[in-house]
Structure 1
Amino acid sequence: MAVLRSYRRFVVVVWQFFPLLWGWLRDRRRFVAFGGSRRVTAEMRRERARILLDALLTLGPTFIKLGQLLSTRPDVLPTEYIEELAELQDRVPPADWAEAQRVIEDELGPVDDVFDAFNRESISGASLGQVYTADVDDQQVAVKVRRPGIESLVEADLRAIRWSIPIVVRFVGQGQAFSLENLADEFAKTIREEMDYSREGRMLTEIRANFADEPDIVIPTVYEEYSSDRVLTMQYIEGTKISDVDTLERRGVDRSQVSETLERAYLQMIIEDGVFHADPHPGNLAVQDDGSIVFYDFGMSGRVDSFIQDKIVEFYVGVANQDIDAILDALIDMGTLSPEADRAVMADVMELAIQDARGENIETYRVQQIVGKVEDTIYEFPLRLPPNLALVLRVATVVEGVCVTLDPEFDFITVATDYLAEQGYREESIRQFAAGTAEEFQAAATSVLRVPPKLERALDKVEREDLYVRADLEDSNRVIDALARRVVLGLVLATSVPTTAFLYVTADVTAAAISGAFTAAVGAALYKTFRRRNGLQASPQFTRQNLRERDGDGDDGGTALARSGSQIEADDAGTATNGD
């Protein structure tokens, strides 16, 4: 029965995505079966992104979550798709109380026996779960209940997604195909983790312990005896939604200080603790009257290993010092950029990003714009964005979007730089640089002693005409193959034309017709080598003009992910509460 449902969902998925597949097919051959490829404009991509968004919403909870994950993967989709998917909101009507009641009673027992009081009206609903309020020992709690029947639907959808991947990869490049295949595995892992409320409770408890001495950070307490794999009971904490600037202003909250507190909290989670809340949109953040920040919904949370932590520090230090080479080195080490990428081109990208992001003061540029330019290039180069790093990049840009909503003059880099200096990271970077420089100087001194004898031996070989040079020619674009094909076809054509003429004059018409047909085929093949768009061209690379043209086509120089901080919201009310 489960497999049958998966097949049915697969048919529905293919039907929903068919317009996109048809468009991508025509991109390769204008008339599907024949014709050259066609140019895809930014407006065409944006229109297709809207079609994709509608399809994801139509397909339901699993695909809404997939869309949210895709919005963090600029190595899979172009910028226009990222911008549209960034607006995807995880809001669906709650399930009937009777169905939710069965889940609670299957996990904990009769509702009225377990809880002192229970409000049957949910306060929020999302694709995977919904939240109710209740009382336990005279304390108000929030009870998060997994949506009834969601497990079988998710498993059927995951099978359908897995079956769809071989179809989709036929319409994308090799790099994106690799990313898509890994994305399917990553998504299956992520959504299963998000449905596991026991895991969410453990992550919440661990992060709460890391901020035990921080009065400005408020994280609900988990009631373990009232929780299970499908039910999570937490302390109920009210607050003003962090994006409700007018209410915060009326209550006298220092919004600039709240922004700094939020950024410092995430810097601690990512750089120091290695475990972080990965869904910081305004629906999951609230502010109390004393300026403290309340965090909700830890279903999407992640971990960062020590290597990535070190590279993130190097990235921030490089940005603070405006050291392009250090930024590129950190991004390459993290796997964000390919080691084979043209460093000169990427340096131009980074320089443009910094120039575009600068204010009157050179220190006031924003990390989201730098990350945004890097994300734009990720889709152009065949590489894969590591899963945990995708979450970190999303968190960095969304958090800054929230901070700028609170305080338009907020300087993300200055706060990060101050934090790194307080923790001693910048001094450590200076010490490492000094140690590295000393080692390089020592190596250079040793080379000075070794080079003259080697140079003398090489000159002796030149003088004896005994010097041989071996060169390996890389032809990843098959330029030499194309030239060889043209030369061979040209020679064949050059001999077949007079041969056909000779046969026509001296032999019968049949022989001349056969030779003429062969000559025409060779001529058509030769003509096709000149018509083929990738004939002798190298792979397209980014240039300053490319970026300026892209900006002119509709990209405002910033990153779509940053805007999602103010666009993706779980509800529009002025008061935020525990939610999914």
Structure 2
Amino acid sequence: MKTQNSVPTTKVARASQFVKAGVKVGGNYIKHYSKKLIDPSLSKEELHKDNAADIYDALSELKGSALKMAQMLSMDRGLLPVAYTDKFTMAQYSAPPLSGPLVVKTFKTYFGKSPSELFDKFDINSVNAASIGQVHQAWKNGKKLAVKVQYPGVADAVSSDLKIAKPLAVRLLNLNERDIDRYMGEVETKLLEETDYELELKRSIEISEACAHIPGLVFPAYYPELSSKRILTMDWLDGLHLKDFLKTNPSQDVRDRIGQALWDFYDYQIHTLRQVHADPHPGNFLMRNDGTMGVIDFGCVKVIPEFYYNNYFRLINPDTLEDPVLTEEVFTNLEFLTPADSLKDRQFFTDLFKEMTLMLAEPFAVDTFDFGDDAYFSKVYAFAEGLGKVDEIKNSKVARGSQDGLYVNRTYYGLYAMLNELKARVTTTKPDWLRSKKVVA
């Protein structure tokens, strides 16, 4: 894979990358419609592939929040055509890496020393490159280490990148500008946190220690003396990312054990710690054939406010949706319903969100759930795809849903998607108050 010798850091340089991508996309549309004049039956598949490749190339050169957005979009099946999802998945752990001189420069900036002066041995070629930083192998005092080095300038460019990227997202992905504005503050806050490796170091240690008792999970030790605001050092963990792990043809028992560890990890964080590793994409987990799994990268952590937690999870208890008054209260608290809604809108969106809640809460409604049930996921994806065609949603003058739901929903979406790929059967543990109080005859 080619390395990158520089990262655009000024607003002008970064904006020009977005402009360049926009020009290429425009050219792709012209090419597509020219071909369609000759062949009216031509699908948009080639157009999507060309656009996805051009956009990914531009974003991968920018690194940081631009590439992180591609990574987030790759997890949302149904939101984008498959060509985009497939290409943007590369942002999870295989973006073009920085060249050696840029890595050395980063070390000298934050430690006043080169990596070879800090470690007994340091591999200048990265083994993994994602959206915010890349990982190198190093050794010190007989220990093999993973050293994450942040790309230059990404922290300073978060706010401006989001402003520049918004029009491209609205036009190309057909996203609603009103909805994007509503959640932009939450996204910006989380991206800024992800660029602060001192904060990540603190959270990594705290959550790893709190979850160390969960069977099947393995966490690295972290080294504050070898870490800084833009460099993070931890133990090297062996294991495979999900796609490579599945190629080893693991047994159903191993899939189930890893799936259970994943479920228990998120169950404990959400319901006990009230903060959660909100970046559940395959690049952050290292799976092993003995049924254990390493957990890395606590850069994106969502602290769940008590008011939101109490209302959001009250919907998991099926008794709530059988109580119309309570359902309306909870939907209003979660901003699914608004004071401006007409009676007709109120009924429509109540019915819509009840249907959505019942579907997404199906794993909680039973003691054991088979996430390998593709019929369930086909139903969920079809529902999500259908939402984009509903006139009441397209014409709604308000964005619906609390901004706190953005990363909580993303967390569950990522968790469900990984469990589906694992084809894992999981005991869906949950607090007792989420269970129905009705006696089953």
In the superposition, the TM-score normalised over structure 1's length comes to 0.56
Note the alpha carbon deviations across 1:60-108, whole angstroms, 9 max, x for none: 324222233456789xxxx543765543121322111122022123323
Q: Distance in 1 between matches of 2:362 and 2:144?
A: 48
Q: Secondary structure at the match of 2:80?
A: helix
Q: Secondary structure at the match of 1:308?
A: helix
Q: Distance in 2 between matches of 1:193 and 1:321?
A: 35
Q: Distance in 2 between matches of 1:120 and 1:272?
A: 40
Change (3 A) 1:374 1:332: farther
Note the alpha carbon deviations across 1:19-38, whole angstroms, 9 max, x for none: 879999xxxxxxxxxxxxxx
Aligned residues: 392
Change (3 A) 1:322 1:20: farther
The one-letter code of the counterpart of 2:406 is A
Partner of 1:134: 138
Partner of 1:373: 383
Who wins on radius of gyration, i.e. which is larger?
1
Q: Distance in 2 between matches of 1:263 and 1:12?
A: 40
Q: Secondary structure at the match of 1:121?
A: coil
Note the alpha carbon deviations across 1:204-223, whole angstroms, 9 max, x for none: 11211211322422221210
Q: Distance in 2 between matches of 1:49 and 1:183?
A: 28
Displacement, 1:234?
A: 0.5
Q: Distance in 1 between matches of 2:97 and 2:172?
A: 37
Specify which of 386, 398, 405 is matched with residue 389 of structure 1: 405
Change (3 A) 1:288 1:72: closer
Q: Distance in 1 between matches of 2:264 and 2:198?
A: 28
- The 5 A counterparts of 1:13-28 are 13-14=18-19, 16-17=21-22
Q: Distance in 2 between matches of 1:284 and 1:273?
A: 20
Partner of 2:297: 297
- The 5 A counterparts of 1:241-252 are 241-243=241-243, 244-247=245-248, 249=250
- The 5 A counterparts of 1:534-573 are none
Q: 2:346 aligned with 1:342, yes or no?
A: yes
Change (3 A) 1:135 1:9: closer
Q: 2:129 aligned with 1:95, yes or no?
A: no
Displacement, 1:159?
A: 2.7
Q: 2:407 aligned with 1:402, yes or no?
A: no
Specify which of 113, 117, 136 is matched with residue 117 of structure 2: 113
CA contact (8 A) 1:338 1:383 kept: no
CA contact (8 A) 1:350 1:374 kept: no
Displacement, 1:225?
A: 0.8
CA-based RMSD of the aligned residues comes to 4.4
- The 5 A counterparts of 1:180-259 are 180-243=180-243, 244-247=245-248, 249=250, 254-259=254-259
Q: Distance in 2 between matches of 1:224 and 1:185?
A: 30
Note the alpha carbon deviations across 1:251-295, whole angstroms, 9 max, x for none: x85321221221121122122212211222222212334422211
Partner of 2:80: 81
Partner of 1:309: 309
The one-letter code of the counterpart of 1:247 is T
Change (3 A) 1:163 1:138: closer
- The 5 A counterparts of 1:312-323 are 312-318=312-318, 323=322
Partner of 1:504: none
Displacement, 1:168?
A: 8.2
Q: Distance in 2 between matches of 1:425 and 1:357?
A: 15
Q: Secondary structure at the match of 1:209?
A: helix
Partner of 1:485: none
Q: Where in structure 1 are there 5+ consecutive unaligned residues? A: 25-42, 432-580
Partner of 2:107: 104
CA contact (8 A) 2:66 2:161 kept: no
CA contact (8 A) 1:324 1:350 kept: no
Percent identity (aligned): 20
CA contact (8 A) 1:162 1:184 kept: no
Moved more, 213-222 or 161-170: 161-170
The one-letter code of the counterpart of 1:245 is L
CA contact (8 A) 2:28 2:50 kept: no
Partner of 1:462: none
Partner of 1:64: 67
Q: Distance in 2 between matches of 1:15 and 1:395?
A: 33
Change (3 A) 1:107 1:367: same
RCO higher in structure (CA 8 A, sep ≥6): 1
Partner of 1:6: 11
Change (3 A) 1:52 1:181: farther
Partner of 1:517: none
In the superposition, the TM-score normalised over structure 2's length comes to 0.72
